[in-house]
Chain A
Amino acid sequence: MEVKYISEGGIEQWFKIIVDSGKRVYAPVNARGQVDFKLVKNLGEVASEYIQTTQSVKASVYQKAEVLFSYEKVNGKVELKDFDPESVPETVLWKVHPCDAAGFKPLSAIFNWDTPDKMHNAHLVKTTIVSFSCPASDESCFCSSVNGSPGNTAGSDIQLTMLPDGGAIVEIFTIKGEALIALMPSVFEADKGEDKQKYLAVLPAKFNLEEVNAKLNKAFDSTVWKEQSERCIGCGACAFVCPTCACFDIQEDAHGSKGRRIRCWDACGFGLFTLHTSGHNPREHQSQRWRQRILHKFSYMPERLSVVGCTGCGRCSRACPVDMNILEHITSIAAQ
């Protein structure tokens, strides 16, 4: 890892050269009061003074609708056209929070645990992640309870920590990160020895992950699932804003002789998710779906994939229309 300093003006020049290099740059943009990752061309478009984007940055790698392959029926035969990794453009994700950068590890763990996922890997390999450490947090944030922190660098190619002078501490972790620096090395100065910790939000852990994990191993038949999910309306918002939710559906998009098979985001909170054709549904009740959501993230994934399915970004709590709060629910399980 290498540490450098970049001035405010340097950031502007560097950002411009990144855009001019032809890479797609996604960054948080404030559109009518909602901050979300959008394609940007100028640094001026990038939002400031917000705690969290509504949606995670996940969608830039794990596409909402990924064409797995396309096909055409010709004279009674079928011709397949495979997904082309070369079709994926070079992409820079700018001003990603550490909790979002950390989300790519559980995502990759799910997509690659048994057989490598061609589509996921093609997007990831073309993506450079420039994270910004967090100077502030709110009551929904709990990264420090799930192996993260406001200055966590896991998953980042580069991390910037903003300084009062408008410049930043620049930490460079990977070859992809170095390549981005190499676009304009002149704007990077020697490390000024600033203490990064001074500029980070203070966020003590709110629960003990091992304790929660141990409790969950015995909680399948607990009444807690019903109690906590009684107000859940099964809208799936929590899954769609989550940086680590990966559950998907495979759908067909066909018109005449041509068609595409598409992987689409899905959510374990939906009643149809597990419905059998026969009408039998192993997760008929919302409480069973809520249990699946929590156990998958905090019990099954740690056990099977050695990674927690939560980065503590707090989006699910902020997005929930009925005020379900994952932090409250997890702490109450830990306290049981």
Chain B
Amino acid sequence: MSEKNTYLPYLMTIEKVIKEAPGVKTFRLKFQDEAEAEAFEFEAGQFGEYSAFGEGESTFCIASSPTRKGYIECTFRDTGRVTSGLASLEEGSTMGFRGPYGNVFPLDEWKGKNLVFIAGGIALPPMRCVIWNALDLRKNFGDITIVYGAKTVNDLVYKTELKEWSDRPDVRMVTTVDPGGQTADWKGEIGFVPTVVEKVAPSAENTIAIVCGPPIMIKFTFPVLEKLGFRDDQVFTTLENRMKCGVGKCGRCNVGKLYICKDGPVFSKEELNLIPAEEY
């Protein structure tokens, strides 16, 4: 039997380690096997299972854009056994990856539309993938607005990219930190993400809003978007739940009858209305 073992990971070399924020790192990963690298394809929104040999597997999104070939990136916070195992790895080390899993942001359907990205804290990574994907195909889209907030200035991830986006004339970049999280020379907004979205007030006309953040941020941002005139089919998010397999079998990530790993992680608000909010 030559059946493929779903759980056997690709071997990846950590090509680059970037320290993003306290406890937060980005890894750039290259496939060790050239044939695997050639065959590998993914789309914005998908995730994978990343493993530190000796510690186990953790679930993160693919944080790099599919338009950037030859590598994938992941960004994670050092919080548990696996993530601290990963965080201790240095450039040149070997780790495991399996994926890509899950559904995708329907970027093709968004051609010609304005995009508003709204992200909080460590939820920028899944958004970063689709932001770069859209920016690399910039002419396909109308106005692009990014609202990103973190608890403190120190907690903002992708600092050089935030500046890069902010410097671009074709991107409206708004960065905010929670009240009290600012530094003396902070020039961005001060306030929680939902409040700042209300202030920035992106037009709902011909626009798609993509919201990623902790459940509490999503909960308070949805009503703001509704107030701004966004219909439920114009609002997208990506959900996270604890996962082990990533392929709809281990039985823990379901929200009602839908599996985040298979039916998600990308959901429109219209789809979310059909599943119980208390399970994510």
Contacts and interface: CB of A to CB of B under 8 A. Distances in A.
A133 interface: no
Given A73-B53, A274-B241, A282-B278, A249 B250 contact: yes
B242 interface: yes
A274 to B, nearest CB: 5
Most buried by A among B53, B79, B253: B53
Most buried by A among B56, B79, B252: B252
Contact of A76 (B8, B9, B93, B214): B93
B139 interface: no
Given A248-B245, A268-B252, A296-B251, A304 B257 contact: yes
Contact of B249 (A248, A259, A261): A248
- Chain A residues touching B, majority SS: mixed
Contact of A117 (B6, B53, B256): B6
- Chain B residues touching A, majority SS: loop
Nearest to B93: A76
Contacts of A303: 257
A9 interface: no
Contacts of B94: 73, 76-78
Most buried by A among B248, B251, B278: B251
B25 to A, nearest CB: 15
Interface string B261-278: 010000000000000101
B86 to A, nearest CB: 13
Contacts of B4: 115-116, 118
B244 A250 contact: yes
Contacts of B92: 76
B8 A82 contact: yes
B179 interface: no
A113 interface: yes
B248 A114 contact: yes
Interface in A100-157: 110-111, 113-119, 121-122, 125
Q: A interface, how many residues as a size bin? A: 35 or more
B3 interface: yes
Interface string A215-226: 000001100000
Interface in B151-204: none
Given A248-B249, A266-B250, A78 B53 contact: yes
B7 A247 contact: no
Interface in B227-259: 240-242, 244-245, 247-257
A142 B55 CA distance: 43
Contacts of A278: 79, 214
A114 B280 contact: no
A48 interface: no
A252 B54 contact: yes
A247 B252 contact: yes
B11 A274 contact: no
A68 B53 contact: no
Most buried by A among B92, B214, B278: B278
Interface of A: 68-69, 71, 73, 76-78, 80, 82-83, 85, 110-111, 113-119, 121-122, 125, 220-221, 246-252, 254, 259, 261, 263, 266, 268, 273-278, 280, 282-283, 288, 292, 295-296, 299-300, 303-304
Given A118-B3, A250-B245, A273-B252, 5 more contacts: A68-B8, A73-B94, A82-B8, A282-B280, A300-B257
28 contacts: A76-B92, A76-B94, A78-B53, A80-B9, A82-B5, A110-B251, A113-B248, A114-B249, A118-B5, A121-B3, A122-B1, A122-B3, A248-B245, A250-B7, A251-B56, A252-B54, A252-B56, A259-B53, A261-B56, A261-B57, A266-B252, A268-B252, A273-B242, A280-B214, A280-B215, A292-B254, A296-B251, A296-B254
